Chain A
Amino acid sequence: MTPALEIIGLSKTFGEKVAVDHVDLAVPQGSFYGLVGQNGAGKTTTLSMAVGLLRPDGGSARIFGADVWSDPSRAKSLVGVLPDGMAMPERLTGREVLTYLGLLRGLSKEVVAERAEELLSVLELDEAEKTLVIEYSTGMRKKIGLAIALLHAPRLLVLDEPFEAVDPVSAATIKTILRGFVAGGGSIVLSSHVMALVEQLCDHVGVIDKGRVAAAGTLEQVRGDRSLEDTFVGLVGSADTGTKELSWLSR
């Protein structure tokens, strides 16, 4: 079966720094894939290249077999993306953002209105009907971002740090929706550095360290009989991770 997302030898160098070094990953259809790594390991860069937001120095990415760079229209219609910390049409309300992007995707006016209504109510954004996106809290921004990603009924979701700085209530809502998406046959890739979260949600895991894949496979294959956190620290931690104390705080 064609993987939902196939990353083949993606590489990117910024100046002197090799950010991503020949990363290969395959996200099977119907899987919930967690990409874990330290800050600066190359998760965001890899995902940006995989969905066509950053041009790779080498390698390619395919979404359900469609090459992101040579067949962008088909590839991009199959994927919904939630990037971390990017701007949106800031001076529109949530409903207006969804209407605007839905029409831009070529959906009919009626379909857009219906889906926007449902997304806003499920994501509990309908109370802030008159609030512009620029006034949204971090949790609300993530939720409207997720709504944007889901709007055109994609079959793959690529989410960069979807739970970063999100309050527990919003996080619970997002988790419910994501689980429902996978249960309905969709595939998800999300990046995170919270191991517990990945363990709780995902069935597949890829560990990225210093721009390379340190381990990848099903959750059981990667962690074995240890916790994911121990496995992760074993894979990427340096030898002397004995925690040092701050001299002026210990009495």
Chain B
Amino acid sequence: MTAMTTVLGTMAGMKLAVLRHSMSGQKAGLVATGGVLGLVLAGGTLFAAFQSGDLLAAAYAVWMLGWILGPVFSGGGDETLRPEYFTLLGLPPRRLAAGLLAGAFVGVAPAINLLALAGLVILGVRQSPAAALVALPAMLLQLAIFVLLSRVAVAALGIALRSRLGAIGTGLVNGAILAALGQVWVFAIALGQTGGITPEASAVLRYLPSGWGLAAVEGAGTGSWDRTGLALGAMVVLVALLLAAWAALLTRRASAARASARGRRPMTASTPSGAVVAKELRTWSRDLVRTHQLTFALAYGVFFAGAPLLLGLDVMLAWAGPVAVLMAAAMTAGVYAVDGTALWLTLMIPDAADVRGRQRAWLLVVGPPVVALALGLTAVTGGPWPPVLAVTAALLGGGAGIVPLISVYALVPGTDPHRRGGNPLRVSEDDGALTGMAYAVLALVALTGAPAAVVAVMYGWAGVAVGAATGVLCWWGFGLLAQRRLHGHGPELLQMMRTGKRPPSRQGGWVRIDELPKREQIITALCWSVGAIPLFPQGIVAGFLKAQDSETRSWFLALHLPEAFQWPVIVFMVLLGLGIYGLGLWIPYRHRRSAAVPEAS
């Protein structure tokens, strides 16, 4: 037993040390931003605890989904302590898993989740002292279940991504779940139509592992101790089972072959650009992470657009194709990053048209299924043809242009494929930046579809011509820019890949957030994350509602005040929001580089 406690203590201590050291770089700002968002969510959960048990159960179900799915989108989750680090120590798998679990509890996310789980205590206090007492162990067990579920999900996904079928399966499931979260309004309305959370739904929420803690507390509150005992016992058993499962998965992870072994057909290309296409297509079909990404994007499109069918609405169905393009572009945003230092080969052959080949391959992979989706589903709904076709064409061109462009202009250094650890989702050490880039690509590619959408809505078929034109233009123009950047800054990009660090900003230019002193970083990140609250909901939206003489007051502070104060408060909120954003801009501006830094020419 002492060996076990030593392992637990050492790993928790290690994690704490790593966190302390890594809080200096851009990570501090990122952690602060994530922390603030998490606190807002935790606050919402505690608010739900004051309302009803059903609402709290629903909130915990969402937390659980977040724990399971989050890592899929943020580069494999928290990998501060990796199982590979400890392979030479010869720890028994279960002790290793327990140690890693102890490490996993040290961090910002578990702390915030524990705060959210304090909702159980609130609920308990509202019921009886005994229930409040039961809430304490329930809280800890619930957190252990969340953290373990997350770890087991990542480990299981890692195993699944070793086979094609597994990659496709998980892509489908993940796409469906994320689409459901994105379309949560549909479910909200569906619930509203049936008059709130139905008794069945309420029961289901308590049967989910996320509701067991709640069930235990409620059991204690109503004096049905057998229910409490059952729920707590089930939680203990689940924790043990998950720990065992994780330990088993860890041993499989450490002994991993990653590539898929499939029949090799000979390369038939005969031109330089054709060779790039052939290489890229082979990488697409052999890298199961990419298979997963593509399946995910398509599944997301279909389920996102199909969700309103639950309400009997088919207006969105035809848009599955365009949505899938956006998601595919976001998932493949690091098209150069994932190749790592293989970039040196491109630099050694300066005349090869690498970008064009990659663009063609991207279109060949993403285009056919997306076009099939767009045509098929629009035929099912019987239109509207012009906007769907216009936007699909525009987005395909936009994606083929923006993806390589962003990939070279905002390069996030990737880990070389042959040096990656046992977690296939982790393609970069800078997973925060990679996630940010995915969102940027999502927004930018969506913008490239805007002109075609507007024209198609106003003038019908003319929009398709506009979509085709902007698509070709984006493909051609952005591709050209990317190619130039690759030529002009190739050595700098390669150096970035080699060292895994982005170089300091140029003299006189703006500094990046991670170059600021730590305190300023946190302030800037806070400004950027909270500025929206006074500006949009409390300011602009409140003003809009006020101008409309709406009855809705919700959480809009101004509308709860006496008439005379309403407009002044709205104006104040807008100014406050702008002021906060302004501060967020001013801090990096003030720290503009003055010291001489070698400039990349």
Chain A: interface residue total (CB-CB under 8 A): 39
Q: A104-B275, A134-B259, A134-B418 are in contact. Are A91 and B267 (CB under 8 A)?
A: no
Answer yes or no: A177 CB below 8 A from chain B CBs: no
Answer yes or no: B547 CB below 8 A from chain A CBs: no
Stretch from B22-30, B141-149, B226-234, B349-357 contacting the other chain:
B349-357
Partner of B342, one of A73, A81, A86: A86
Answer yes or no: B341 CB below 8 A from chain A CBs: yes
Chain A, residue nearest B342 (CB): A87
Inter-chain contacts of B342 with A (CB < 8 A): 86-90
Whether B344 pairs with A53 at a CB distance below 8 angstroms is yes
Distance in angstroms between the alpha carbons of A10 and B593 in the assembled complex:
27
Whether A86 pairs with B341 at a CB distance below 8 angstroms is yes
Interface residues of A in 60-97 (CB under 8 A from B): 72-73, 76, 81, 83, 85-93, 96
Distance in angstroms between the alpha carbons of A57 and B342 in the assembled complex:
24
Answer yes or no: B598 CB below 8 A from chain A CBs: yes
Distance in angstroms between the alpha carbons of A13 and B495 in the assembled complex:
13
Answer yes or no: B2 CB below 8 A from chain A CBs: no
Answer yes or no: B276 CB below 8 A from chain A CBs: yes
Interface residues of B in 323-351 (CB under 8 A from A): 339-342, 344-345, 347-351
Whether A52 pairs with B348 at a CB distance below 8 angstroms is yes
Answer yes or no: B287 CB below 8 A from chain A CBs: yes
Distance in angstroms between the alpha carbons of A52 and B443 in the assembled complex:
36
Whether A100 pairs with B267 at a CB distance below 8 angstroms is yes
Inter-chain contacts of B401 with A (CB < 8 A): none
Answer yes or no: B283 CB below 8 A from chain A CBs: yes
Distance in angstroms between the alpha carbons of A116 and B282 in the assembled complex:
18
Whether A52 pairs with B345 at a CB distance below 8 angstroms is no
Inter-chain contacts of A96 with B (CB < 8 A): 264, 267, 278-279, 282
Question: Which of B270, B274, B278, B348 has the most chain A CB within a 10 Å cutoff?
Answer: B348
Interface residues of A in 110-169 (CB under 8 A from B): 129-130, 132-135, 141, 148
Distance in angstroms between the alpha carbons of A132 and B351 in the assembled complex:
26
Q: A87-B341, A132-B286, A134-B417 are in contact. Are A106 and B351 (CB under 8 A)?
A: yes
Answer yes or no: B164 CB below 8 A from chain A CBs: no
Answer yes or no: A103 CB below 8 A from chain B CBs: yes
Distance in angstroms between the alpha carbons of A106 and B257 in the assembled complex:
34
Answer yes or no: A182 CB below 8 A from chain B CBs: no
Partner of A103, one of B257, B271, B351, B495: B271
Whether B598 pairs with A13 at a CB distance below 8 angstroms is yes
Distance in angstroms between the alpha carbons of A52 and B495 in the assembled complex:
12
Chain B: interface residue total (CB-CB under 8 A): 41
Interface residues of A in 16-59 (CB under 8 A from B): 51-55, 57
Distance in angstroms between the alpha carbons of A88 and B342 in the assembled complex:
5
Whether A89 pairs with B347 at a CB distance below 8 angstroms is no
Answer yes or no: B416 CB below 8 A from chain A CBs: yes
Inter-chain contacts of B264 with A (CB < 8 A): 93, 96, 129-130
Partner of A54, one of B270, B339, B494: B494
Interface residues of B in 373-416 (CB under 8 A from A): 416
Chain B, residue nearest A51 (CB): B348
Q: A53-B344, A91-B282 are in contact. Are A104 and B267 (CB under 8 A)?
A: no
Question: Which of B267, B341, B491, B492 has the most chain A CB within a 10 Å cutoff?
Answer: B267
Distance from B82 Cβ to chain A, minimum over Cβ atoms (Å): 19
Distance in angstroms between the alpha carbons of A76 and B352 in the assembled complex:
12
Distance from A198 Cβ to chain B, minimum over Cβ atoms (Å): 24
Q: A53-B494, A55-B491, A81-B348 are in contact. Are A92 and B417 (CB under 8 A)?
A: no
Partner of A135, one of B257, B279, B339, B351: B257
Partner of B351, one of A73, A92, A108: A73
Answer yes or no: B258 CB below 8 A from chain A CBs: yes
Chain A, residue nearest B271 (CB): A103
Chain B, residue nearest A99 (CB): B267
Distance from A77 Cβ to chain B, minimum over Cβ atoms (Å): 9
Chain A, residue nearest B270 (CB): A109
Distance from A58 Cβ to chain B, minimum over Cβ atoms (Å): 10
Chain B, residue nearest A129 (CB): B264
Whether B349 pairs with A76 at a CB distance below 8 angstroms is yes
Inter-chain contacts of B313 with A (CB < 8 A): none
Partner of A91, one of B259, B341, B416: B259
Distance from B460 Cβ to chain A, minimum over Cβ atoms (Å): 45
Distance in angstroms between the alpha carbons of A87 and B340 in the assembled complex:
6
Distance from B393 Cβ to chain A, minimum over Cβ atoms (Å): 30
Whether B259 pairs with A103 at a CB distance below 8 angstroms is no
Inter-chain contacts of A81 with B (CB < 8 A): 344, 348
Distance in angstroms between the alpha carbons of A197 and B257 in the assembled complex:
34
Question: Which of A53, A83, A101, A141 has the most chain B CB within a 10 Å cutoff?
Answer: A53
Inter-chain contacts of A134 with B (CB < 8 A): 258-259, 417-418
Inter-chain contacts of B339 with A (CB < 8 A): 87, 89
Q: A57-B598, A132-B259 are in contact. Are A52 and B491 (CB under 8 A)?
A: yes
**Binary CB contact string for chain B from 417 to 430 against chain A (1 if under 8 A, 0 otherwise):** 11000000000000
**Binary CB contact string for chain B from 270 to 310 against chain A (1 if under 8 A, 0 otherwise):** 11101110110011001100000000000000000000000
Whether A91 pairs with B492 at a CB distance below 8 angstroms is no
Distance in angstroms between the alpha carbons of A91 and B258 in the assembled complex:
10
Distance in angstroms between the alpha carbons of A130 and B260 in the assembled complex:
11
Q: A52-B347, A104-B352, A109-B270 are in contact. Are A91 and B286 (CB under 8 A)?
A: yes
Distance from A56 Cβ to chain B, minimum over Cβ atoms (Å): 9
Whether A55 pairs with B600 at a CB distance below 8 angstroms is yes
Answer yes or no: B269 CB below 8 A from chain A CBs: yes
Whether A86 pairs with B275 at a CB distance below 8 angstroms is no
Chain A, residue nearest B261 (CB): A130
Distance from A86 Cβ to chain B, minimum over Cβ atoms (Å): 4
Q: A55-B600, A103-B269, A103-B271 are in contact. Are A92 and B279 (CB under 8 A)?
A: yes
Residues of A within 8 A of B (CB): 13, 51-55, 57, 72-73, 76, 81, 83, 85-93, 96, 99-101, 103-106, 108-109, 129-130, 132-135, 141, 148
10 contacts between A and B (CB under 8 A): A52-B347, A53-B348, A55-B600, A57-B598, A76-B349, A86-B498, A91-B259, A91-B287, A96-B267, A100-B269
Residues of B within 8 A of A (CB): 257-259, 261, 264, 267, 269-272, 274-276, 278-279, 282-283, 286-287, 339-342, 344-345, 347-352, 416-418, 491-492, 494-495, 498, 598, 600
Q: Which 5 A-B pairs have the closest CB atoms?
A: A103-B275, A87-B342, A87-B416, A86-B341, A87-B340
